[in-house]
Every structure is written in C-alpha cells, then in structure tokens.
Amino acid sequence: MAAAASRTNVTRLLGLLQSGANACPCHSHAHSHAPTAGAFSNLLKYGRNYASEKDSTDYAFEMAASNIRFGPGVTSEIGMDLNNIKATKVAVYTDSTIAKLHPLKAVVQSLDQHKVNYVIYDTCRVEPTDSSFKSAINFARQHNPDAFVAVGGGSVIDTAKAASLYSAHPEADFLDFVNAPIGKGLPIRKKLNPLIAVPTTAGTGSETTGTAIFDYEPLHTKTGIAHRALKPLLGIVDPLNTRSMPSQVHASSGLDVLCHALESYTALPYNERSPRPKDPILRPAYQGSNPISDVWSLHALKMVVEYLPRAVKDPEDHEAQSQMLLAATFAGIGFGNAGVHLCHGLSYPISGLNKNYKHPGYNVDHPIVPHGVSVALTAPSVFRFTSAACPDRHIDAAAAFGADPSQIKESMAGEVLAEKLTRFLEDLGVPNGLSGLGFDTSMIPELVEGALPQHRVTKLAPAGEPAAEQLASIFEKSMKNY
C-alpha cells in the first residue's frame, strides 16, 4: 500500500508539472509573459515569488545532494565503488560500538573481497567535539588516504567529513572553516577526496548533506562546518544496517528527522534571506525554504508520523525501520538545502551545557543528550512562536499528524501543531521537557547565551532571528511539555 501511494503521489506531481508547463519559468517565456494561474503555481503557493527585486535578498536557490543508493544488502557493493573511483588507500571511520556490529563487518568484507587497501579509525565520538574532530583529522593526515568511508550515525559521518576537509588543507587553522561567529566560515575552494557514507541510524541525513556538527568545548555549545563541498560522493542506505539500533536510538534519531522536516518546511523563504551573495560560492548551504525542498520535507514529515512509533515499539518491524531510513534521507535532501531554524539553534546549548544526564540506550562513557532529543524538547514551544509568520505551513504540518486542516483557524495553527507534537513526544517516552534533563529556570540565561551565536540557523526562523528575550521565553515554556 505504501509503495502504491508513493507511485500515486509521483504521478500526481508529474501531472501538475506537465499541466502547468506554460507557467514554469524554465519552460516558458517568463520574461515576457506573466505566470499563468495554472496548476504549477500550486507548487509555489506558500508565498513564493519567482525572484526578489530587492538587491538585499537572494533571488535564487540551488539544490545539492549526494548520490544515494538504497537497498537491503547494498553495503556489499562498496568495495567495487572504491575500485571504480581508483582509490589506492581508504580511511574507514567508525565508532567503538559499530566496530563490533554487522555494518562494519559488511564493509570490511566487501573491501577485503575486492582487495581495497584500507586503514580503520574506530574511535569516533558519539556527539563529537572539536577535540575528537582534531584526533580524527590527525589520523587522516598521518595516513594520507585518497578516499574516505564513514560507517555509523551522523557523528561518525560528520567526523569523516572534517577529516577529509582538514587533511586537504594542512595549512588551515581549525576555526577557518567553522561557521561564524565562532569561526571564520571561509568557503571551501579545494576539491576534497571522495567520501562514501554508510549510515547506521535513521536520523541525521548526514549522508546527503554538506554539514558537520560538533560540540565546541571552549564555549560549551554546538556549532559546525557547512559547505556543499563536504557532502559525500555516495550515501549507501542499507536497511540491514539499522537492525542493531536499540529502541531509544530509533526514537532519538527519528526525532531528528522530525525536526529536520518541520524546520525546513517552515523556514524563512529563500528569497527573503539576506544578504544576496556576491559570488555563488558564498550562497549558504542553508538557503531557506524553497519549492524543491518543500516536497522532500513534507513527505518526510508524513513518513515519520506513520513509521517512527512503529519502529520504536517493535524491533522486528523491519518495514518501519526501512521507511524511517528513507525518511531520514528525504529530510536530509530537504533541510540540506533549505536549512533548519530554532529547534536546532536552541538544541546546541542544551547539549553543550549538559553535565550529568545520560540518555538510556547509549553505550557511552560520558553524559549525553542525543541530538534528536535536544532538538525535539523545544519543538512545541518553537512552533507556537513561529506559527504567526506562516500559519498555512503550520496547518500543513498539523495535518500530517492527523488534524483536519479545514477546522484549523490560522490564529490557532501553532497551538494545534504544538499539541500534536506534545502528544507524539509523550507517546514515544521522550523526557518531559528540559526539566527532564536536569535543567531549571536558573539556567535560562546560559541557554540563551549559547543560542545567540547560532545565527546560521536561528536567522532562518520564518519571522527572522528572535531577540534574546524571545529565546528566553521559548526555553522557559519548554521546561515541561506535558
């Protein structure tokens, strides 16, 4: 039934594109004729214009995503892939848990079978830090590989991206490519060695994106590196590789997919983002919501609502696990080009300021708030706050959770979506707000201070970047969700 429904959706979308061809700026004389009120305009119905006439805002968006190969058992092809790109020495990155499990064994078996020369780095940190990135970078500089393989969740894939980047720039200071204002945010102008990503969690979508996230320990906050040059050459999306995930890891990684989809779909439109880049290389990877990302993000949201509860509750529900892996990839394509906003911007100090909380299901030797949990706990309050800027999109999102859009007034869009989100989180057994992690209202000033530098994402909130007092209010209202 799911496959049939997907085919129906694709057929309907193709029909819309065909019937509205005369309105398409790529297939009509849009410079001499006004766009017609055809079906194609429905794809742009959420306040999009063809281009902004204001020099201060952008007028274009671009799509970048990795090649994706999906299928059960497809990991076995990786050795052939590396031979096909003529790799002579491969650095394989993983973590100490995955090193003992099927995904890495399947990769190594393929590499051995196809006589690929490789070295393994198996100490990637779950929720990486600047220190753990530097250790992985040093390994790459020591071994000088001409290709990289990442086998693991987003933490491992992001670590391999950083290793590839800095091994190609031996002269660079670590902060050169880190997002401003923490780093210099320099563009990447060199071609990097190819990276093949083999995700083992259904969450980050890092196999499709040019983003690498880490905890910057000196400031106790998360930041990252973002550029299209970082995206993997290939993402090998193999449902067999998520079979070993504990239930809690399914839940937290799935919540990351949820927020990727929600935030990218409700982000500031690309043609309202400023400044307009003077050079295409300066156009950010996170450009704002756009008609192509919208398709991927909204579909990913619907998949999460349907399949995440099943994947969490039944470890033998392989259909749900497989669909969540696809949802993560779909959302990755969406948010990798549109961006995320407040849930992610506020999550970074939540993770960075955590001193004692250790989430169940994670076999690590340090306190940890999984990334998906840290982004989800503020989601109800965030979408109450953002709904006034684009209530129609919040209604669409609430409809994905089963609400009747015809019964939702625009003034109530945020409240309805927040209530749906709250019940969804409660049913998954997520901690009850920030207080469930050990935070209290006395820590709000520190949380706000950690969120303020996250301009790269917070400025993509649909009404623009919130003030400090607005961030404080969201944190306060997120102390308890139910």
Residue pLDDT, tens place only, 222-277: 899 999 999 999 999 999 999 888 899 999 999 999 999 999 999 999 999 999 99
Q: How far is CA 142 from CA 135, 188, 192, 248, 319, in A?
A: 11, 22, 17, 36, 42
pLDDT of residue 20: 39
pLDDT of residue 221: 82
Residue 297 contacts by C-beta under 8 Å, 6 or more apart in sequence? 260, 261, 262, 264, 265, 289, 330, 331, 334, 335, 338
pLDDT of residue 23: 36
How confident is the prediction for the chain on average, in pLDDT? 89
pLDDT-derived band of residue 208, with 50, 70 and 90 as boundaries?
A: very high
pLDDT of residue 41: 40
pLDDT-derived band of residue 6, with 50, 70 and 90 as boundaries?
A: very low
pLDDT of residue 362: 86
DSSP string across 140-166: HHHH--SEEEEEESHHHHHHHHHHHHH
Q: What is the mean pLDDT of residues 114-140?
A: 97
Q: Please report which helix (H) or strand (E) contains residue 18, including its range.
A: helix 2-19
> Does the structure show a pLDDT above 60 at 21?
no
pLDDT of residue 25: 30
pLDDT of residue 364: 81
> Does the structure show a pLDDT above 60 at 12?
no
> Does the structure show a pLDDT above 80 at 15?
no
Cα–Cα distance measured from residue 342 to residue 339, given in angstroms and rounded to the nearest whole number = 11
pLDDT-derived band of residue 361, with 50, 70 and 90 as boundaries?
A: confident
pLDDT-derived band of residue 356, with 50, 70 and 90 as boundaries?
A: very high
* Model pTM score: 0.85
pLDDT of residue 27: 31
Local structure of 270: helix, strand or coil: helix
- pLDDT (tens digit per residue) in 437-480: 999 999 999 999 999 989 889 999 999 999 999 999 999 999 99
Q: What is the mean pLDDT of residues 71-87?
A: 98
> Does the structure show a pLDDT above 70 at 52?
no
- Report the range of poorest mean pLDDT among 84-98, 142-156, 217-231: 217-231
Q: For residues 272 and 40, which has the higher predicted lDDT (pLDDT)? A: 272
pLDDT of residue 220: 82
pLDDT of residue 304: 98
Q: What is the mean pLDDT of residues 46-72?
A: 77
Q: For residues 362 and 41, which has the higher predicted lDDT (pLDDT)? A: 362
pLDDT of residue 365: 83
Q: What is the mean pLDDT of residues 173-177?
A: 97
pLDDT-derived band of residue 212, with 50, 70 and 90 as boundaries?
A: very high
Contact between residue 108 and residue 78 where contact means Cβ atoms under 8 Å apart:
no
